[in-house]
């Protein structure tokens, strides 16, 4: 009888341990699902992006966070960045940086209770088209430089208010300019004055089509096309 009682107590302890372990795993799973990471980005030219990485969670969860540590790529001067201010916007414990390449960011969340939590976030750089395009257009001027050569200038036309909303303009030249330019895509940051801005000039033999992407200060873009006539 004593042996049976001992075995019963032993199995009861085993099942209790398994049950408690299951509850712990369920609680941990629930905890893991109540917090996530995200990032926003804005193209600023020359292949570089301004980006902000941040934490997404309920107010209750965010109130329990003391600091968040982001481990950046080793090419950054200070790879380990600690943010201890939640901030007032939607980008909680946000870290804003500038760079040209995406990478995996290890994240350490330090709770006020003292228990750390580890996450990872893969940065995503992307621009989105505007919801309401500006009333802008593209025009060009040209003049004969030689018997078979033309000097041309293409530019963006619009009101001063509209042009002031533009950060840069990307002009994608066709392959026929490969000998004259080191890059097929050229970025123009110069707003200039008046109703014509962000001008790009060159020399060519034939008329050609241009693909144009206009980046707003907000980070969104508007695509245009233009045929340059001589």
What pLDDT score does 115 carry? 87
CB 68 within 8 A of CB 109: yes
- Other beta carbons within 10 angstroms of residue 175's beta carbon come to 8
- Return the ∠ at Cα 126 (arms to 124 and 131), rounded to 5°: 140
| pLDDT tens-place string over residues 204-224 | 888 899 999 999 999 999 999
Locate tokens 């030249």: which residue?
A: 173
C-alpha to C-alpha distance for 129 and 176, rounded to whole angstroms? 28
What pLDDT score does 13 carry? 47
Residues of the chain with pLDDT under 70: 1-33, 176-183
137-228 to CATH, choices 3.40.50.980, 2.60.40.1970, 3.90.850.10, 3.30.43.10:
2.60.40.1970
Residues 6+ apart with CB under 8 A from 62: 55, 86, 92, 93
C-alpha to C-alpha distance for 127 and 76, rounded to whole angstroms? 23
Shortest CA distance to 209 belongs to which of 130, 138, 127?
138
Structure tokens at 102: 């995406």
Give the rounded distance of the alpha carbon of 38 from its chain centre: 10
CB 144 within 8 A of CB 150: yes
What pLDDT score does 118 carry? 98
What pLDDT score does 206 carry? 86
What pLDDT score does 192 carry? 93
What pLDDT score does 123 carry? 98
**Coil, helix or strand at residue 177:** helix
C-alpha to C-alpha distance for 122 and 101, rounded to whole angstroms? 11
Exposed/middle/buried for 109, CB within 10 Å: 0-12, 13-18, 19+? Answer: buried
Beta strands at 150-157 and 196-204: parallel, antiparallel or unpaired? antiparallel
| pLDDT tens-place string over residues 150-197 | 999 999 999 999 999 999 999 998 876 655 554 588 999 999 999 999
Under CATH, which architecture does the 35-122 domain have? Sandwich (2.60)
Domain positions in the chain: 35-122, 137-228
What pLDDT score does 96 carry? 98
Q: Is the fold of 35-122 the same as that of 137-228?
A: yes
């Amino acid at each position: 009888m004593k042996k049976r009682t001992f075995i019963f107590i032993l199995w009861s302890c085993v099942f209790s341990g398994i049950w408690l372990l299951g509850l712990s795993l369920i609680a941990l799973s629930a905890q893991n699902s109540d917090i996530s990471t995200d990032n926003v980005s804005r193209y600023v030219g020359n292949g570089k992006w301004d980006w902000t990485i941040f934490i997404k969670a309920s107010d209750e969860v965010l109130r329990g966070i003391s600091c968040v540590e982001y481990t950046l790529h080793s090419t950054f001067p200070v790879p380990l960045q600690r943010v201890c201010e939640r901030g007032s916007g939607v980008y909680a414990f946000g870290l804003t940086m500038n760079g040209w390449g995406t990478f995996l960011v290890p994240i350490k969340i330090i709770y006020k209770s003292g228990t750390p939590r580890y996450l990872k976030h893969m940065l995503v750089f992307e621009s989105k088209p505007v919801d309401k395009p500006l009333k802008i257009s593209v025009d060009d001027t040209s003049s004969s430089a030689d018997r078979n050569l033309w000097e041309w200038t293409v530019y963006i036309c619009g009101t001063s208010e509209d042009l002031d909303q533009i950060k840069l303009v990307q002009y994608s030249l066709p392959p026929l300019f490969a000998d004259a330019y080191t890059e097929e895509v050229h970025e123009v940051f110069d707003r200039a004055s008046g109703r014509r801005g962000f001008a790009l000039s060159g020399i060519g033999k034939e008329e050609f089509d241009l693909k144009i992407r206009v980046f707003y200060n907000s980070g969104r873009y508007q695509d245009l096309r233009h045929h340059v006539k001589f």
